[in-house]
Amino acid sequence: MSVFPPVFKSWRGPIQEKIDKTLETNFDREEANQIIKYMFKTGGKRCRPLLVVLSTKAFGGDPNEALDAAAALEIIHAATLVFDDLIDKDQVRRGAPTVHMAFSNEKALTSGLFLASKGVQLLSNYKNQEIMRMIGSTLVDISRGELLDIISDLNASVSECIAIADLKTASLFGSAAGIGAAIAGVDGKDLVGMQSLEGPEEWHSRFRMMYWTSTMVRESNY
């Protein structure tokens, strides 16, 4: 039984169609197309692209204009999962072999780079400096979080673990909300507030922490 409210379900289809169209044929060789589409065959909640669309709608914009950005955020998110699985040597994600297990480490690495680049290219079509600023800072945060995660040890404190999760997970949620608002025409301090992880607008950081914690519990062996 679906746990998604009606407003979520109504946008999941259009978002998925946009993702499929974006990744349909980027290479002459079919194997390459299969590799980059592999991450999307096992489903996913699509929380980040839904947040883009709903943020645009909440600020009075046309949510259909946010579909490219929504697809871009999910494609970038998929790239981070490819890298994360490769670094952690995970063998299974969502019940299926991870990309590097299904193909190879080299193919996983290059497919992740392609997905991240494709997502940024899609966002650049908006010709909006604020959108590019947000996704740029987010990609830096994710990379910082991944590196800190690699060099941290089992004795890392709770605050250190939360800081890493903020960088790796919260930053993309913040950009999803901020980019959706930017598409609706929000600017200035209000736009910074939508993306910021500090101050009264840190609702998405709190949401991220709840989301991340529940995901870790579901994926644990306990």
Q: How confident is the model at residue 220 (pLDDT cuts 50, 70, 90)?
A: very low
List alpha helices for the chain, DSSP H.
6-23, 30-37, 47-58, 67-88, 99-102, 105-124, 129-151, 158-165, 171-183, 188-195, 203-219
Per-residue pLDDT at 4 exceeds 70: no
The span from the CA of 126 to the CA of 128, in Å, is: 5
pLDDT in tens, 163-172: 888 888 888 9
Average pLDDT for 179-203:
74
CA-CA distance, 214 to 24, in Å (whole number)?
Answer: 32
The C-alpha atoms of residue 222 and residue 74 are separated, in whole angstroms, by: 29
**71/15 Cα distance (integer angstroms):** 6
Which helix H or strand E contains 97, and what residues bound it?
Answer: strand 96-97
Residue 18: partners with Cβ closer than 8 Å, 6 or more residues away: 67, 68, 70, 71
What is the pLDDT at residue 201?
45
Looking at residue 200, what is its pLDDT?
44
Dihedral (CA of 5, 11, 136, 131) sign: negative
CA pair distance 204, 153, nearest whole angstrom: 27
**What pLDDT shows up at residue 139?**
96
What does pTM read for this prediction? Answer: 0.86
> Is 218's pLDDT higher than 90?
no
Q: HSE of 89 in the Cβ direction (CA atoms, 13 Å)?
A: 1
